[in-house]
Every structure is written in C-alpha cells, then in structure tokens.
Structure 1
Amino acid sequence: MINIWRLTKIQLLSTFGLNKALHTRDVKEKRKFLLLGIGILIGVVMIAGYSFVYSYLMAQTFEQIGRMDLLLAIMMAATSIIGFFTTIYKASGVLYSYKDYDLVMSLPIRTSYVVASRVLQLYVLNLFFTLILMLPAGAVYAIKVNPEVVFYLSFLITLLFIPLLPIIAAALIGALISWVSSRFRASRVITIVLTMAVTIGIMVGSFSLKGNEQMLTDMSTQLADMIFKLYPLAAMYVDAVCSYQIGPLLLFMGISLLAFILFSIVLGTRYKAIHTGLTTSHTSSKYVMRSLKASSPFRALYVKELRRYFSSSLYVMNTSIMMILLLVASIALLFVSSENLGQLIEIPQLSNYLGSMAPMVVSLIVACSCTTSSSISLEGNHLWILKSSPVSKKDILLSKVAVNLTITIPISVIICLLLMISLGTGWIESLLLLVIPIIYACYSAMLGVIVNLKFPKLDWTSEITAIKQSASVLVSMLLGFISVVIPVAILLLLSHVNEILILSVIGVVMLAVCGGMYKYIATQGERLFQAL
C-alpha cells in the first residue's frame, strides 16, 4: 500500500505542479503559483456557489410536492454523468498514454501497484468535482429538511463512492474506442470521430430526457422512476441518505467498491498487453522516394503544428467539442423557432434577446475553444528543437495562432450562417454576428499564446496535464470568459441603447485589443520564448 500511495502522491504533485511550487526558491515563481492558487480558489467558490443556487431553486419546487429526496437523486445522477463525460476521453491518457511508461514500469514495483496508482489518480480528480457539486446540494437539503444526525454521516461516506462506477464505465468505453481505432491506419481520426459521436450522443440523450416544470410538479413519481431506472444506484443512494436505511447504504458502497476493485485487479493482470494493444500503430504505407517539396518556414511550421493538433484525440476533443455541440444546436435551431425554444426553456422573452446575444454566445464558445493555451506546453522536452531552429520565433508563435484560427473560424462562420437563417437577422445584425466571433477567435488565439508563454507546463508526463490541468489553460479560459461576460453585462444594463451601436463598439474595442496583442507577440514574443 505504501508504494501505491507514493506513486499516487508523485503523480498528483506532478499533475498540479505542487512539487515545484513547494520547493522552488524563485520569488517570481512563488508569486505566480500564489496568484494561480487564488484564481483556482475563486473558480472553485464560483462553481460551488452556482451549484448551491441551482440546488436551491430546484429544492423550492421539490419542497412544494414533498419530494426533497429528488434533489439529491438528480444531483447525484448529474455528478455521475459529468464524471463519466469528463473521464471518457482522458482515461486513456492517464492510464496508458503517459510519457514515462517505460521508466515507471522498470521500477521494482508490481504492475498492479502502478495500475492502482493511475486509477487512484483518476479517482482523486473526479472526487474533487464530486465534492464541489454535491456538498452545496447536501447543504440545501439540510437547510430545507433539517434531517437527523445520521444523514450527515451517511451523506459524507457515500460521497467517497459516487465517482467509482462512472470512472469504470468511462475507462472501459475510452479503452474500447482506443482499441477499435488502433485496428485502423487512421487511428487518430477514428478515435476523434468515435469519441465525438459518444459525447454528442450523451449530450443529446440528456437533453431529450430533460423534464419541464410541469413534470417536476405533476409527475414527480415518473421523474423519480426514470432516474432510478436509468441509474439504479441512485435509488440505493436516496434510500441510504434520505431514508437512513443501512441495507441500501451497504449495498451502494459494496457494489461501487467491489466493481472498482475488480476493475483494478483485471486491469492489473492484463495491463501490459492492453497497453501494447492500445498504443500499437500502423504505418500508412511502404515508403517510396519522391521528389521533395520546399515551402516557406511559416507554412512548414503551420503544417507541423496542425499535424500535432490532430495527432492527439484529447487535444482535439478538449478544444473543439464545444464548437461541435454549438454547431449541432445551430442546426437544431433551424427546426425550432426562437419562440418555441423560449417556451421550452421557460424564457418567454428569449426571441427578443437572441438576436443581440447570438454574437456573444458564439464568441463565448470560441473563446473557450482555445488551442494555443497549451500549444507551447505540448512541445515538452522537445522545445529546444524549436528554440534552436533558424526560423523567426514570431513565425513559430503565429503558426500556433494560425492553427487556432483554422479550427475556430470555419466552424464559427458555419454556425453564424445557420443562425442568420434561423433567426432571420437583418444585414447589419448578420454582419455583426459574423464579424464579432471572428474577432474573438483572433483574440482567444493570441491570448492563449501570451498566457502560455507566461505559464508554460513543459515537465508533463501525460498530455492531459498540459491540455486540461495546466495554469495557462485555466487562466486563458478565465480571461476569455470575462472578456465576454463584461460586454454581455453592458448589453443587459444598457438595454435602452441601440444594441447595434453597443455591439459595434464592442467589436472595435476587441479589435484594438487584438492589435495590441499582435504587437506584443511581435516585439516581446521572441524574448519570452527564448526564456523558456
């Protein structure tokens, strides 16, 4: 057990950069980690606050119908779905595709211990988000119901077991996708397509099962039955926590823990064979000597960066899935009028706001789909090749920006064209709907490069660390979110002012910001890049 704990601790410290933060003597580095810690804390508080408000609003309805148990059932099921959704495309990277596999497997430690440590790493990451979502819901339930003391004990104990089954299901599906795709030559493309198909299927399914207020009020029993049939452990959880039943509590804990242990044991016994099968690749064809083609340095860097992007299914999924989902929603909007959509999500005035808010909604998704926030970090220990290459460092950075624009601009243009048709916007509104997201795409791409130069993560052993858990990704997403929220707040506060004028001013301001960022990259980019 001590070896499992040591391996898990080392992996977690490396994942979050805590080891460097605790032992560095550089004052600037300590200040950087302190500011990052404060930012993460603010983010955690915001998510927990949103969970509390959302739970409280649901509790008001459930309290009227005398079914407060539905609050914990829905939040537990939602937490499991989120855990499954976020784990399905990162499980393969944590369990199999990590850079120090040969080093770890050469240690005088049992393979089962290595597997257990990797699975525990997934568990800790999912448990963190479980606590953020479930603790506020439990607090709302306690305020409304004033339960007995045994509730608090069973609630806290069951929190530790909620992430177990979603991790197993996600790991199995992720491994299956990787195995199926590895049988084909275009394995990366197959992985991306299959993962996106599963993700979109889950999202569409969750929306199709969404209940309205009438269902919550008049059909609470049917809603509970639907949840319990889809996820039987939710029924055990509710009986254990809300009804204080020992049998369901032990059964819920036993099933979750037994499944987790069996999964770890089976994976441990076949780990090397599974790793070999999942990481095996096929050559595209027999090499044939042909005439070589020359291109400009920038084009060569752009093609290299584009190939690097599509070589990682995790990279593609993390930076493009929101754009794909928005594209699906835009297509669906062709068949659902804005008035019907407003009635469906219970916002009758939605059609009045959709025209002015559409550019900002698309811009928000574009700002959150940044590829450059981790593009420098992903160079890892090969960064010296770029630093020593006889090319302009400005071209290196701008080639990463160009890849970001290649991914976001075509999809955003298609989305905007679909929205123009479905919303029936005028020519000025259509122009703003098309231009503002493009400006935000440029802003997001250059922001990601600058932030990644400031907060590089080059010592990663698994791509997921650089792509999802690095400081630069968190900071760029936060800044991108703020850059959209502030204009939206201005639009809402100045609703009496012409919205076209406000959107035009927002576009001009963001265009000026983009110009300043481009100048910063051109003048300071080489110095920051060489300092890495």
Structure 2
Amino acid sequence: MINIWRLTKLQLFSSFGLNKALHTKDVKEKRKSLLLAFGILVGVLMIAVVSFGYNFMLAVTFEQMGRMDLLLAIMMAVTSIVGFFTTVYKASGVLFSYKDYDLVMSLPIKTSHVVASRVLQLYVLNLFFSLMVMLPAGVVYAIKVNPGTLFYLFFLMTLLFIPLLPIIAATIIGSCISWISSRFKASRMISLVLTFAIVIVLMVGSFTLNGNEQALADMGAELADMIFKLYPLAAMYVDAVCSYQVGSLLLFIALSVLSFIIFATVLSTKYKAIHTGLMTSHAGSKYTMKPLEASSPFRALYKKELRRYFGSSVYVLNTSIGMILLLVMSVALLFVSSEKLGEMIEIPQLSHYLSTLAPILLSLFVVLSCTTSSSISLEGNNLWILKSSPVSKQAIWLSKVAVNLTITLPVLSISSVMLMISLRTGWMESLLLLVIPLIYACYSALMGIIVNLKLPNLEWKSEVTVIKQSAAVLVSMLIGIISLLVPLGLSLLLTQVNANLLLLGVGMIMIAACLAMYRYMQTKGEQLFQRL
C-alpha cells in the first residue's frame, strides 16, 4: 500500500505543479504559487455559488411537486454523466499514454501497484468535481427538507463512491476507441470522430430531460422513473440518502467498490498487453521522394503548430467542444424560434435578451476554447528547439495565436450568420454579433499566450496534465469568464442604458486590451521566452 500511496501522491503533485511550489527556494516562484492558489480558490468558490443557485432554483420546483428527492437524483446522475464523458478522453492519457511509462515500469514495484496508483489518480480528479456539484445540492436539500442525522452520515459516505462506476465505463470506452482507431492509418481522426460522437450523443440525450417548471411539475414520478431507468444506481442512492435505507446504502457501496476492485484487478493483469495494443499504430504508406518545399518562418511554424494541435485528441476535444456546442446551438435555433423557446421555458423576453446579449454568449464559447493557454507548455522538453531556432520569438507566439483563431473564427462566422437569421437582428445588433466575439477571440488567444509564458509547465508526463489541469489553463479561463461577467452584469443592472451602446463600449475596451497585450508581447516576449 505504501508504494501505491507514494506513486499516487507524486502523480497528483506533478499534475497540479505542487512539487515545484513546495520545494522551490525562489521567492518569486513562491509568490506566484500563492497567487495561483488564491485564484483557484476564487474559481472554486464561484463554481460553488453558481451550483448552489442552480440547485436552489430546481429545489423550488421539486418542493412544489413534493419530490425533493429528485434534486439529489438529478445531481447525482449529472455528476456521473459529466464525469463519464470527461474521463472518456483523458483515461487513456492518464493510464497508458504517459511519457515515463518505461521508467515507472522498470522500478522494483508490482504492476498492480502502478495500475492502482493511476486509477486512484483518475478517481481523485473525478471526486473533486463530484464534491463541487454534490455538496451544494446536499446543502440545498438540507435547507429545504431539514432531514435527520442519518442523512448527513449517509450523504457524506456515498459521496466517496459516486465517481467509481463512471470511471470504469469511461476507461473501457476510451480504451476501446483508442484501440479501434489504432488499427487504421488515420488513427487520430477516427479517435476524434468516435469520441465526439459519444460526447454529442450523451449531450443530446441529456437535453431531452430539460423542460420548463410546469412540465416538470406535471411529470413527477415519470421524471423519477426516467432517471432511475437511465442510471439504476441513482435509485439506490436516493433510497439510501433520502429514505435512510441501510440495505440500499450497502448495495450501492458494494456494487461500486466490487466493480472497481474487479476492474482494477483485470486491468493490472492485462496492463502491459493493453498498453502495447493501444500504443501500436498502423504503419504508414511507403515513403516516396517528393520535391522539397520552402516556406516562410511563420508559415512553417503555423503548419507545425497545426499538426501538433490535430495530433492530440485530448487537445482537440478539450479546446473545440465549446465551438461544436455553439454550432449545434446555432443550428437548433434555426428550427426553434427564440419566441417559441421563450414560451417553452416561460421567459417572454428571451428573444430580446438573446438579441442583445448574443455577442456575450458567443464570446463565452470562445474563451472556453482557448488553445494558446497550453501551447507553450505542450512543447515540453522540446522547447529548446524553438528557443535555439533562427526565427524570431514573435513568429513563434504569433503562429500559436493564428492556430487559435483558425479553430474559432470559422465556427464563429457561421454561427453568427445563423443567429442573425434566427434572431432577426437589426444592422447594429448584427454588427456587434460579428465583431464582439471576434475581439474576444483575439483577446483570449493573446491572454492565453501571456499566462502560459508566466505559468509554464514543461515537466509534464501526460498531456492531460497540461491541457486540463495546468495552472495556465485555469487562470486564463478564469480571466476570460470574469471579462464576460462584468459586461453581462452591467447590462442586467443598467437596464436604462442602451445595450448596443454598452456592448460598443465593451468592444472598445477589449480592443484596447488586445493592443496592450500585443504591444507587451512585442517588447517582453523575447525576455519571457528566454526565461523558460
């Protein structure tokens, strides 16, 4: 057990950059780590507040229905579903595709201990998300129902076991996708298509559960039956936590733990064979000599960065899923008018809100699709090649910004045009709908580069660590969301001010911010690169 604990601790510390923060003697590094910890804490608190508010709104409806147990059932199912499809595309990277596989497997440690530590790493990461979702739901339930002491005991006990089965299912599916795709020449593309298909199917399926408050009130038992049929463990969970049934509690824990133990045991016995199968790729076609092509430094760097981007399925999925959702939403609004949608969810002024705040909504998808916040860190041990190349550092970071804009701008343009048609916006609203997200795309790309240069992680072992868990990604995302919350809050508070004028002012401020960041990179970019 001591080996499992040590390996798990080292992997988690490495994932979040805690090793360097705890052991460095550099005062600047320690100050940076403290500021980062404070920023992450603020972000977690913001998520908790939003989660609490959402749970409270749901609780009002379920209280009218007399089915407060549905609150915990839905949140438990949502936690499991979200944990599942986020683990689908990171499980292979955490369990198999890490750079120090040969080093770890050569240590005098049992393979089962290595597997256990890797699985525990996945578990801890999913448990963190479960706590952020379930604790606010539990607090709201306790406020509304005022349950007995057993509720708190059973609720805290079951929290630890909710992520187990989603991890098993996601790992199996993710590994199957990697194995199937590795059998073909275009393995990366096939892996992306299969993973996107699974994620979109899950999301579309979850959307079918949505409805207005009156619809939920009319459904009652039907909604509960739907949830329990989709995820039977939710029924056990509700019986245990809400009805204090000890049998359901023991059955829920036993099924979760036994499944997890069996999964870890089977995985440890076949671990090397599975790793070999997943890491084996189809041989390419026979090489044929072709004329060499010459490109400008920027174009060569851009092509290299684009190949790097599409060469990582985790990178593509984590940074493009927002743009995919934006495109799906824009297409859906072509068939369901904003007025009808407002009637369905009982918000008569929804059409007005969408017309005026659509630029902010589109910009939210943009800031969630930033590729530059991890692009420097992904260079890893190969960064010295870029630093020693006879190209300007400006060309390096501009190529990374160009890839970010290549991913976002085409989808933004198409989505903006479709929203203009569906929302029937005027010329001023249409102009803002095109320009504001474009400005935020440039802002997000430049901000991501600066933050990543300030908070690099070049000693990663798995791409998942950099793309999903690095400080630069979290900080740049937090800054981007805050930059959107401010104008959104002003537009809701200053209702007497014309929304178009307000957005125009926001656009001018963001243009000034983009120019300031561009100027900063021109003057300090070389210095920031040399410090890496």
**TM-score when scaled to structure 1?**
0.98
Aligned to 2:18: 18
Between the aligned partners of 1:141 and 1:360, the Cα distance in structure 2 is 33
Q: Deviations over 1:208-255 (max 9, x none)?
A: 122431233232111111111111111111111111111111110111
Between the aligned partners of 1:496 and 1:152, the Cα distance in structure 2 is 46
Aligned to 2:107: 107
Aligned to 1:256: 256
Greater shift in the superposed pair: 122-131 or 145-154: 145-154
Structure 1: state its 5+ residue gaps: none
Between the aligned partners of 2:448 and 2:22, the Cα distance in structure 1 is 26
Aligned to 1:527: 527
Aligned to 1:150: 150
Aligned to 2:294: 294
Between the aligned partners of 2:144 and 2:430, the Cα distance in structure 1 is 48
Q: Which amino acid aligns with 1:290?
A: K
Q: Deviations over 1:25-53 (max 9, x none)?
A: 11111111111111111111122222222
Aligned to 2:67: 67
Q: 1:63 to 1:426 in 2, by over 3 A?
A: closer
Q: Does the 8 Å CA contact 1:215/1:223 hold for their aligned counterparts?
A: no
Q: 1:499 to 1:150 in 2, by over 3 A?
A: closer
Task: List structure 1 segments (4+ residues) > 6 angstroms apart after TM superposition.
Answer: none
Q: Does the 8 Å CA contact 1:21/1:33 hold for their aligned counterparts?
A: yes
Q: Deviations over 1:248-274 (max 9, x none)?
A: 111101111111111111111111111
Q: Which amino acid aligns with 1:527?
A: Q
Between the aligned partners of 1:436 and 1:132, the Cα distance in structure 2 is 32
* Matched ranges for 1:81-480 at <5 A: 81-480=81-480
Between the aligned partners of 2:346 and 2:98, the Cα distance in structure 1 is 46
Between the aligned partners of 2:505 and 2:46, the Cα distance in structure 1 is 29
Between the aligned partners of 2:494 and 2:451, the Cα distance in structure 1 is 32
How far the C-alpha of 1:15 sits from its partner, in A, is 0.6
Between the aligned partners of 2:260 and 2:266, the Cα distance in structure 1 is 10
Q: Does the 8 Å CA contact 2:334/2:422 hold for their aligned counterparts?
A: yes
Between the aligned partners of 2:494 and 2:151, the Cα distance in structure 1 is 47
Q: Does the 8 Å CA contact 1:240/1:248 hold for their aligned counterparts?
A: yes
Q: Does the 8 Å CA contact 1:99/1:462 hold for their aligned counterparts?
A: yes
Q: Does the 8 Å CA contact 2:211/2:344 hold for their aligned counterparts?
A: no
Secondary structure of the 2:335 match is coil
- Aligned residue-pair number: 532
Q: Which amino acid aligns with 1:261?
A: I
Between the aligned partners of 2:291 and 2:411, the Cα distance in structure 1 is 35
How far the C-alpha of 1:493 sits from its partner, in A, is 2.7
Greater shift in the superposed pair: 451-460 or 38-47: 38-47
CA RMSD in angstroms comes to: 1.2
How far the C-alpha of 1:515 sits from its partner, in A, is 1.2
Q: Deviations over 1:68-120 (max 9, x none)?
A: 21121111111111211221111111111111111111111111111111000
Greater shift in the superposed pair: 82-91 or 304-313: 82-91
Q: Does the 8 Å CA contact 1:373/1:451 hold for their aligned counterparts?
A: yes
Aligned to 2:30: 30
Between the aligned partners of 1:385 and 1:349, the Cα distance in structure 2 is 55
Aligned to 2:79: 79
Q: Does the 8 Å CA contact 1:443/1:513 hold for their aligned counterparts?
A: yes
Secondary structure of the 1:366 match is helix
**TM-score when scaled to structure 2?**
0.98
Q: 1:11 to 1:446 in 2, by over 3 A?
A: same
Secondary structure of the 2:252 match is helix
Q: Which amino acid aligns with 1:78?
A: V
Between the aligned partners of 1:123 and 1:276, the Cα distance in structure 2 is 24
Between the aligned partners of 1:94 and 1:335, the Cα distance in structure 2 is 41
* Matched ranges for 1:36-75 at <5 A: 36-75=36-75
Q: Which amino acid aligns with 1:197?
A: A
Between the aligned partners of 1:269 and 1:339, the Cα distance in structure 2 is 58
